[in-house]
Amino acid sequence: MRKKLFAQVAFLLIVILISSCTSQKKLLYLQGDPSIIANDSTSFVMKLYPGDFFTVDLYTVNPEAFPGLSLMNDKPSVTDNRSAYEKGFVIDQNGNSSLPYIGMVHLAGLSLTEAHDTLHNRFKKLIDEPVLVIKKLSFKVSIVGEVFKPGLYYVPNEQITLIEALAMAGDLNNFGDRTNIKILRRTATGTQEMIVDLTSKTAMTGANKFIYPDDIIYVSPTRKKAFSTISTATIVFTSILTVTILLANLYVNANK
């Protein structure tokens, strides 16, 4: 009877151990045919929206005649520690922004290339051969869930992939479900939710290939995490139960 009892307890512990393991296939990123990524032609298009901050660098043959926009090409390079709010122009809720010399301009919904062309056409009425550089400052992304360093991250450049964004957060932790990454994205028609499977190369294609400003990346937990919160208690309970049964069995045998 004791041998049967030990066999049952051993079987229970093995089941617990197997249940807590994750197959290697669920841990590897970007599996599949490499041509899936090679044949993808999705491009990244940065657009401006109400509430965005941006800078405009104006380069002219006579920069002294047009101060006030940004650092001119004849000034030495300096470190600018001001916030985006302090050093940039803002697009109001109507989609407009007021700039020196040219006044109010509607920019919401335009890509950076379209915004550049719009401003260039306005400035060339005042300035001979103006050269403009436009940069969006308010590029932030929220990364939450099962990553090592969840938080709000500001992106210094104007293009970032999902893999790069997760790398900023220290990658997924041991409980992150690599097959269920959620991206919440603000669009003109509302918030869009996309589900990404990092174990497949399709994660680097289509709309989920790039991360856009104000995206929220949520890494779902695996069932392994829920199990891990009770596994210790389960093992302790199983041990107590085993000892209790053994003691009861010894007591019964001793009184036969």
Report DSSP letters for 67-131, one per residue.
-SSS--TTSPP------HHHHSEE--TTSEEEETTTEEEE-TT-BHHHHHHHHHHHHTTTSSS-E
Same domain? For 164 and 192 the reply is: yes
Same domain? For 70 and 128 the reply is: yes
Residue found under tokens 């690599």? 178
Q: What DSSP string runs through 199-218?
A: TBGGGGSGGGSEE-TT-EEE
Quick one: pLDDT at residue 101? Answer: 86
Over 70: is that where the pLDDT of 189 sits?
yes
User: How many independent structural domains does the chain possess?
Assistant: 3
Same domain? For 113 and 153 the reply is: no
Same domain? For 79 and 131 the reply is: yes
Range of the domain at 246: 2-21+224-254
For 49-108, write each residue's pLDDT tens digit. 888 899 888 887 776 666 655 544 444 455 566 665 567 899 999 999 999 889 999 999
Same domain? For 131 and 239 the reply is: no
Quick one: pLDDT at residue 72? Answer: 43
Same domain? For 132 and 154 the reply is: no
Quick one: pLDDT at residue 92? Answer: 94
Any idea what the CATH number is for the domain that residue 163 is in? 3.10.560.10
pLDDT band at 39 (very low <50, low <70, confident <90, very high): confident
Give the pTM.
Answer: 0.66
Same domain? For 9 and 64 the reply is: no
